[in-house]
Amino acid sequence: MKTNVYNTKGEVAREFELPESIFGLEWNADLVHQVAVGMQSNARSNTAHTKDRSEVRGGGRKPWRQKGTGQARHGSRRSPIWAGGGVTFGPRAERNYSKKINKKMSQKALLIALAEKVRNGQVLFVDTLESGSNKTKDIVASFKALEKADGFETINTKKHNNIFFASPELSDDVKAGAKNIHHVNTAQLQNINVLDVLNNRYLVLEHPEKTVEFLETKLTNK
């Protein structure tokens, strides 16, 4: 499987052979969904908490006597059917949303998601994005030049999570320059996960040889 590798001018610099063992994997929606949902659950912060009838304030005295008033009997103002009373079956802070994700499952799901992105023409390989400057305007110019790549004319559409740039050696200049571009996310290739692939429209991967080497050695280990 061959793909083009682009330079900072948006021109084809060379061709690169992608290994079928990684980028030729078949789509497995069940596995990708299971890993993605598990990661979202693990990232969920459990802050919602309601008080039950034992925790709300008041209710020490019976509202009125048991009989003779013509009203329904009540034992406490903390009852869930009273305004200001406890909450029945409300969210509790002690609930645990975490899910176990096996290492091999997460690795395989990432590779499958990457392969699907390649099939959909949403992965762009570049030799480097460094321009010798950490200014935002220079990084914007580099991404602007990539619009010349076939199929990537809308890569700079200013929508949230439109570009995810990953590199085995993410430079401080690129990281600092892209920080103020709201539709661009950056990360070290070692930290990429399946949610990064799914939540971003285009992937721009730097240093193809090192990227493939990392995927082969780090993510396909038995």
Condensed to tens digits (0 to 9), the pLDDT of residues 145-189 reads 999 888 899 998 888 889 999 999 888 888 888 888 989 999 999
CB 98 within 8 A of CB 42: yes
- As annotated, the residues of the chain forming the CATH 3.40.1370.10 domain(s) are 2-29+97-218
Q: Which residues of 28-38 are buried (b: 16+ CB within 10 A; e: fewer)?
A: eeebbebbbeb
pTM above 0.85, yes or no: no
Q: Over 80: is that where the pLDDT of 84 sits?
A: yes
Average pLDDT over all residues of the chain: 90
Q: Over 80: is that where the pLDDT of 131 sits?
A: no
- Which is the CATH superfamily of the domain at 2-29+97-218? Ribosomal protein L4/L1 (3.40.1370.10)
Q: Label residue 27 by pLDDT band (50, 70, 90).
A: very high
Q: Label residue 218 by pLDDT band (50, 70, 90).
A: low
Q: Label residue 111 by pLDDT band (50, 70, 90).
A: very high
Q: Over 60: is that where the pLDDT of 222 sits?
A: no
Per-residue confidence (pLDDT) for residue 221, from 0 to 100: 59
Per-residue confidence (pLDDT) for residue 169, from 0 to 100: 87
C-alpha pair distances (Å), 26 with each of 40, 168, 187, 191: 24, 25, 26, 23
Query: Strands 184-188, 163-167: parallel, antiparallel or unpaired by DSSP?
Result: parallel
Per-residue confidence (pLDDT) for residue 132, from 0 to 100: 73
Structure token pair of residue 70? 């013509």
